[in-house]
Amino acid sequence: MSAAAAEERRSPGWRGRIGIVQPSPGVMLEYEWPRWLPDDVLFPVARVAMRDATAVGYRGVVEQAPAAAHELAKAGAGVVAFACTIGSVFEGAGPEAELVERMTAASGLPALSLGSTSLAALHAVGASRIAVLTPYSDAVNGWVGGYLTECGFAVEGFISTPVDIVTVGNLPSAEIAEIAVQGLARLTGADALWIPCTAIRTLDAIEAIEGRSGLPAISASQALLWRSLAFLDLAGAGRPCGRLFQTT
């Protein structure tokens, strides 16, 4: 059998599958990730209902995540990930760790969440004083800032997008980069940028932000991609995305 024929007989995603638990409105991972993943890595997505962007709504998303992780195991995932940053962080690091444990118990797989995955990425680039770019309300920014502080980071300030989370995905990557660079010029104490919202087009913006600001830029989408590939023993595979991928 030729190599090409053998390749065709392999199952799609034979190198690895990343199971994504996604709140129902989210689509940006599915838009961005395919251009950055290694060949023959898939990411099946299980959507969970989200009533609204309140604490009650996020608790509902969290409660559905273990069952969704269980279903993703049936799709051959090698790792499962809760792809909702605010759902990961709004009640703090302890409840986030409990969610990861519940997802692992339900699926039999290693589990990730966007808060702790982003923290690992920030540590990997040596960050401690964080500027945060979001489309969130002041109340939600308060959850984000409280989480970072609880986990030992200093929050230098927030950079707001000109539109909210409903329409922020419409902003092109070049505009996101410009917003970030201008904000970092104001927050001179920061040693890194974090973009927690997965609704923002970040993967094409990161290298521009880093090149113009001189600082590492971490997005939740990028951090999850980086960490998931490591769990599949594919660290460094695929298209590199910023300084973070130079740490593998």
Q: Domains in the chain and their CATH numbers? A: 3-114+222-241 (3.40.50.12500), 117-219 (3.40.50.12500)
Residue 157: alpha-carbon gap to chain centroid: 20
pLDDT exceeds 50 at position 1: no
Task: Give the residue from 218, 248, 227 showing the smallest Cα distance to 128.
Answer: 218
**Tens-place pLDDT, residues 179-218:** 999 999 999 999 999 999 999 999 999 999 999 999 999 9
Complete edge-to-edge strand list for the sheet that includes strand 129-134: 154-160, 129-134, 192-195, 217-219
Global pTM value: 0.93
Beta bridge partners, 47, equal 22
- Give CA torsion, residues 235, 225, 216, 177, to 10 deg: 140
pLDDT exceeds 50 at position 123: yes
